[in-house]
Amino acid sequence: MAITQTGPLTKDPNRLALGLAQIRVALSTVTSGQAGYVGAYTAVLQAANSMGAMASTKLMIEREYFSHEAGFPLLQDAQLPIRENASLECAFEEIDPLNMNIAAGKDPWTDGSGQLPIGAMELPAYVRMEAHYTYPNQDSMYVIFPRAQVLSNTELDLKKEENTSATVTFKANRADSGVTGGHSVWNSCPLGRIYWS
């Protein structure tokens, strides 16, 4: 006798996501002689640009809508989009000057002093953030924020017998040609994009 399954069945097991994304970071635009990557539409950063081992990676896309109502009694007749934001939150495990400066919104590639100044706040650096996720069958999904800034607090919870991790949040900013530091390749998707290969 055949077993009949019901309910939401898996259509493609190769698209089941298991594990963490690799987070790659570099400068978005040219700064102090460093190369900029804002004009690249596909993933260009390499494993050498990775922040290393991760404890968590979380993509968040927030959308807000205006609800229009008319008539008596009032009934909704339209939902109008008014705002969209994207961010990626991750917790990195490798506590080094590069990652700690990235988490503080600084440009560690230009400074290179091996320290993290405290109490010297400045405009967060514009960075290109690429999240490279590899499916169990080795297919890839890429999340690209071509012109992001890091806006997060830094906290290290050091423990006796557990490794620590520090959380960092990358906030996507406009990267289209209408903003200084942007590029026309992002005119149809100004905050970035997700694509699969």
pLDDT band, very low/low/confident/very high, at 3 (cuts 50, 70, 90): confident
Please state the length of the chain.
197
Helix locations, 118-172, DSSP H:
none
What is the distance between the alpha carbons of residues 55 and 1, in angstroms, rounded to a whole number? 46
pLDDT in tens, 98-127: 999 999 999 888 777 889 989 988 899 999
Of the listed ranges 28-32, 56-60, 179-183, 192-196, the least confidently predicted one is 28-32
Question: Measured at the alpha carbon of residue 186, what is the angle toward residues 67 and 191, in degrees to the nearest 5?
Answer: 45
User: Structure tokens of 4?
Assistant: 């009949």
pTM listed for this prediction? 0.92
Question: Residue 62 contacts by C-beta under 8 Å, 6 or more apart in sequence?
Answer: 83, 84, 85, 86, 87
- DSSP codes joined into one string, 136-165: TTS-EEEEEEEEEEE---------SSS---
User: Structure tokens of 108?
Assistant: 């560690």
pLDDT in tens, 85-95: 999 999 999 99
SS3 103: helix
Q: Specify whether the CB–CB gap between 176 and 187 falls below 8 A.
A: yes
Hey, where are the domains in the chain?
19-63+82-196
